[in-house]
Structure 1
């Protein structure tokens, strides 16, 4: 079981690497990765012009019944909102415009990965 958990973590890290490279090419400046707090984990944090963006990265393999975006249930959404709120509070950034986006990755047919970027995927009054 430990080997499986290790490979799952490695897969998650690889997905975050792919997402970070993709976002950088799209003009996002990545400022933090894997930020842990009482609220939960934030996979990537970046700047999109003047907007602070919290990114949730999801990878689903070819045998998955749902997409990465579909896999984010109510409980996970609530954790992301809490983690983003905690980050804003801890860094004194309450007045900064922010949003929570989802980067969904899946194996591609033409390219190695299919990447779906859903801006403002999780609505909150941050």
Structure 2
């Protein structure tokens, strides 16, 4: 089981990320979509693009930038869950993308188009 403080920090990071995304003009569609394959932290719209957003945070940059925590395995999992989301919700979007909100030492950075789906 996860350490409760880790869960609390994650929830706090998602709140901070949501605020930054709203300030940047995103519209939040859904938070914490979950299925057997995993979870999407945030689903949002950026103009006419549906965006799947992974949120990562680190207290400081001593051990690297928060964005470095999004491994290839995590990207593959988020991509799988995004496909399930599209089937379940049937949104009408011509374009989707994957962004990361990285919070390192309290500094929030939105990384647009952080990776692309290979299929």
TM-score (norm 2): 0.90
Aligned length: 119
Larger-Rg structure: 1
Moved more, 50-59 or 116-125: 116-125
1:89 alignment partner in structure 2: 87
2:112 alignment partner in structure 1: 119
Runs (5+) with no aligned partner, structure 2: none
SS at match of 1:44: strand
Moved more, 57-66 or 47-56: 57-66
Runs (5+) with no aligned partner, structure 1: 108-112
1:55 alignment partner in structure 2: 53
Matched residues in 1 for 2:61 and 2:90: separation? 43
Matched residues in 2 for 1:122 and 1:22: separation? 20
- C-alpha RMSD of the superposition: 1.8
Segments ≥4 residues shifted beyond 4 Å = none
CA contact (8 A) 2:58 2:66 kept: yes
What are the within-5 Å matches in structure 2 for residues 1-126 of structure 1? 5-62=3-60, 64-93=62-91, 96-107=94-105, 113-125=106-118
Matched residues in 2 for 1:37 and 1:96: separation? 23
